[in-house]
Amino acid sequence: MATEGGGVLINQSIHTLDLMQWLMGDVISVKGHAFTDRNEDYLDVEDTACINLSFANGITGLFYATVNYCENSSISLEITGTKGTASLSGSNLEVAYSDGTTEKICDDSVNRIKSYWGTSHPAIIADFYDNINEKPFWISPREAMKTLRIIKEVQRQSGYIE
């Protein structure tokens, strides 16, 4: 905790929380629990977290992250609404409509890196450096703080910080 500021939330799943907020909107309420499930003998940070999120637009979300999975696995994000379900796994995005039709929006079949890493890091870093002297970076510090506030609130509710 002293050197990294947390475990699975700050290290492995922070960008998934970013993505949920980018897709669903501002979070107004957080109820969560982070805990050390399997690695308590050598970790002083959480290895698992469960969070219920309430968004300003009335949507609710459930977030689960763990490092205790026996396979390298991509993130999985599912958004279910009245007209269908959008599913993201790695860089694959598919929509299943309530009428039974499906649509593949994008896939990572041409991706040469591990699919669960995605392709966004190199693109975002390149964009930052390409435009550092030209314009403000499109992800503001205010936007980044939204996810950090969620993580800190879950850590506080779980007794990791005061």
Q: How far is CA 48 from CA 7, 39, 59, 141, in A?
A: 8, 10, 24, 26
How confident is the model over 43-65, as pLDDT tens digits? 888 999 999 999 999 999 999 99
How confident is the model over 87-143, as pLDDT tens digits? 988 778 899 999 999 999 886 655 545 555 556 677 778 888 888 888 777 778 888
The predicted structure's pLDDT at residue 115: 52
pTM above 0.85, yes or no: no
The predicted structure's pLDDT at residue 71: 81
**Average pLDDT score, the chain:** 86
**Residue 4 neighbours by CB under 8 Å, 6+ apart:** 10, 11, 45
Q: Is the pLDDT of residue 22 over 80?
A: yes
- Higher per-residue pLDDT: 150 or 160: 150
Query: What stretch of H or E contains 106?
Result: strand 102-106
The predicted structure's pLDDT at residue 14: 92
